[in-house]
Structure 1
Amino acid sequence: MESSREKSIVDFFKAKTILVTGSTGFLAKMFVEKLLRVQADVERVFLLIRAADAASAMQRLEDEILGKELFKALKEKHGDGFQSFARSKLWPVAGDIVHENLGIQDSNLVNELFKEVQIIVNVAATTNFYERYDVSLNINVLGAKHVLQFAKQCVKLEMFLHVSTAYVSGTERSGLIPEKRLSMGETLRSGSNSCYLDIEAEIDLVEKKKVELQADHNLTPIAQKLAMKELGMQRARFFGWPNTYVFTKAMGEMVLGHSRGNLPLVIVRPSIITSILRDPLPGWIEGIRTTDIFMMAYADRKLQSFPGDPQMTVDLIPGDMVVNAMMATTVAHSKQQSEFIYHVGSSTRNPITYDSLLQCWFDYFSVYPRTGKDGTPLKITRKMNPSIRTTFLIMVYKFLLQVLGLIHFITCGFIFGRLYDDLNRKYKYLKLLIDLFEPYTFFKGRFDDANLEKLRAMMGKEEMFEMDSKHIEWNSYLHGIHIPGILKYECK
Structure 2
Amino acid sequence: MKNAHVLITGATGFVGQAVLEKLLACYPTTRISLLVRPRGALSAEVRVTKLLRKACFTPWRESVGAAEADRIAAERVTVISGDLGDVPPLPGDIDVVVHSASTVSFDPPIDEAFAANVDGPVSLYEALLASGSDPHVVHVSTCYVAGMRKGVSEERSLEHHVDRVIETARALGARTELEAASRRPAVLGPILERARAEHRRAGAQAVAEAAEEARTTWVHDKLVRAGRLRSQSLGWPDVYTFTKALGERVAEDLWGRAGHRLSVVRPTVIESSFRHPYPGWIDGFKVADPLIAAYGRGMLPEFPALADTILDIIPVDHVVNAILAVAATPPEPSEPNYYQVASGIRNPLRFGRLLRIVRDYFSEHPLKDDAGSVVQVPKWSFPFGRQVERSMRRREWAVDVADRAVGRLPATNRSREWLSGLYKAKRDLGTLRKFSDLYQPYTQTEIIFDDAHTRALHEAIPAESKELHGFDVTEIDWEHYLQDVHIPNVPGLTRSRQARPTAGGAPKALPQRTDVLAVFDMHGTVAAANLLEHYVWVSLATGKGRALADLSAMVASSPTYLQAEHRDRGDFIRNFMRRYAGVDESELREVIASQIAPRLRARLLEEAVARIAEHRAAGHRTLLITGQVDVFVEPLADLFDEIAAGSMEKDAAGLWTGYLATSPLVDEARVAWLQRYARDHHLDLSASYAYGDTYADRPWLEIVGHPSVVNPDTALYRYAKSKRWPVLSWTTTADRGLTSIVRSLRPVKEDR
Please tell me the TM-score bracket, short chain as reference: 0.7 to 0.9
* Residue correspondence of structure 1 range 321-340 to structure 2 within 5 A: 321-333=318-330, 336-340=333-337
> What is the CA distance between 1:351 and its match in structure 2?
0.6
**Aligned match of 1:432:** 434
> What is the CA distance between 1:342 and its match in structure 2?
0.6
> What is the CA distance between 1:212 and its match in structure 2?
2.2
1:89 partnered with 2:76: yes
Between the aligned partners of 2:381 and 2:344, the Cα distance in structure 1 is 23
Change (3 A) 1:420 1:485: closer
Between the aligned partners of 1:233 and 1:132, the Cα distance in structure 2 is 9
Contact 2:299–2:431 (8 Å) recurs in 1:
no
Q: Which has the higher contact order (CA 8 A, sep 6+)?
A: 1
> What is the CA distance between 1:327 and its match in structure 2?
0.5
Between the aligned partners of 1:252 and 1:25, the Cα distance in structure 2 is 18
**Aligned match of 1:46:** 33
> What is the CA distance between 1:35 and its match in structure 2?
0.8
Between the aligned partners of 1:373 and 1:67, the Cα distance in structure 2 is 33
Contact 2:399–2:426 (8 Å) recurs in 1:
yes
> What is the CA distance between 1:91 and its match in structure 2?
1.6
Contact 2:303–2:432 (8 Å) recurs in 1:
no
RMSD: 2.4
Between the aligned partners of 1:151 and 1:53, the Cα distance in structure 2 is 27
Between the aligned partners of 1:200 and 1:406, the Cα distance in structure 2 is 48
**Aligned match of 2:91:** 114
Between the aligned partners of 1:395 and 1:292, the Cα distance in structure 2 is 25
Pick which of 384-393 and 152-161 moved more: 384-393
Contact 1:305–1:386 (8 Å) recurs in 2:
yes
Pick which of 275-284 and 48-57 moved more: 48-57
Contact 1:17–1:45 (8 Å) recurs in 2:
yes
Choose from 147, 150, 172 the match for 1:174. 150
Change (3 A) 1:310 1:177: same
Contact 1:268–1:343 (8 Å) recurs in 2:
yes
Choose from 243, 247, 259 the match for 1:248. 243
Contact 2:4–2:95 (8 Å) recurs in 1:
yes
Could you list the runs of 5+ residues in structure 1 that have no partner in the other structure? 1-12, 105-109, 187-195
* Residue correspondence of structure 1 range 305-454 to structure 2 within 5 A: 305-333=302-330, 336-380=333-377, 382-388=378-384, 390-391=388-389, 393-404=391-402, 407=405, 419-454=421-456
1:220-276 superposed Cα distances (whole Å, 9 cap, x missing partner): 222211111111111111111101110110111112112220110011000000100
1:81-110 superposed Cα distances (whole Å, 9 cap, x missing partner): 1111111111222111012xx1x3xxxxx2
1:348-377 superposed Cα distances (whole Å, 9 cap, x missing partner): 111111111111111111111112223333
Between the aligned partners of 2:245 and 2:120, the Cα distance in structure 1 is 13
* Residue correspondence of structure 1 range 234-313 to structure 2 within 5 A: 234-260=229-255, 261-313=258-310
Larger Rg: 2
Change (3 A) 1:332 1:405: same
Between the aligned partners of 1:401 and 1:378, the Cα distance in structure 2 is 22
**Aligned match of 1:75:** 61
1:213 partnered with 2:178: yes
Change (3 A) 1:373 1:468: same
Change (3 A) 1:252 1:425: same
SS at match of 1:265: strand
Could you list the runs of 5+ residues in structure 2 that have no partner in the other structure? 189-213, 497-752
Between the aligned partners of 1:481 and 1:295, the Cα distance in structure 2 is 14
Between the aligned partners of 1:250 and 1:306, the Cα distance in structure 2 is 28
**Aligned match of 1:197:** 162
Between the aligned partners of 2:22 and 2:406, the Cα distance in structure 1 is 57
Between the aligned partners of 1:387 and 1:292, the Cα distance in structure 2 is 22
Change (3 A) 1:82 1:409: closer
TM-score (structure 2 length as normaliser): 0.57
TM-score (structure 1 length as normaliser): 0.86
SS at match of 1:220: helix
**Aligned match of 1:134:** 111
Between the aligned partners of 1:290 and 1:374, the Cα distance in structure 2 is 29
SS at match of 2:32: strand
Q: How many residues align?
A: 455
SS at match of 2:91: helix
Pick which of 28-37 and 301-310 moved more: 301-310
SS at match of 1:47: strand
SS at match of 2:345: coil
Between the aligned partners of 1:448 and 1:322, the Cα distance in structure 2 is 15
1:26 partnered with 2:14: yes
Between the aligned partners of 1:52 and 1:433, the Cα distance in structure 2 is 30
Name the aligned partner's letter for residue 468 of structure 1.
D
> What is the CA distance between 1:487 and its match in structure 2?
4.5
Between the aligned partners of 1:477 and 1:32, the Cα distance in structure 2 is 24
Name the aligned partner's letter for residue 21 of structure 1.
T
Between the aligned partners of 1:457 and 1:419, the Cα distance in structure 2 is 56
**Aligned match of 1:227:** 222
Between the aligned partners of 2:321 and 2:104, the Cα distance in structure 1 is 21
Between the aligned partners of 1:490 and 1:259, the Cα distance in structure 2 is 46
Change (3 A) 1:207 1:178: closer
SS at match of 2:92: helix
1:188-238 superposed Cα distances (whole Å, 9 cap, x missing partner): xxxxxxxx5222222332344322222232262222111111111111111
Name the aligned partner's letter for residue 140 of structure 1.
N
1:484 partnered with 2:488: yes
Name the aligned partner's letter for residue 28 of structure 1.
G
> What is the CA distance between 1:396 and its match in structure 2?
3.3
**Aligned match of 2:528:** none
Between the aligned partners of 1:318 and 1:118, the Cα distance in structure 2 is 27
Percent same amino acid at aligned positions?
29
Contact 1:359–1:383 (8 Å) recurs in 2:
no
Change (3 A) 1:464 1:338: same
Change (3 A) 1:14 1:480: same
> What is the CA distance between 1:177 and its match in structure 2?
1.2
**Aligned match of 1:6:** none
Change (3 A) 1:123 1:489: farther
Between the aligned partners of 1:471 and 1:46, the Cα distance in structure 2 is 33
Pick which of 54-63 and 71-80 moved more: 54-63
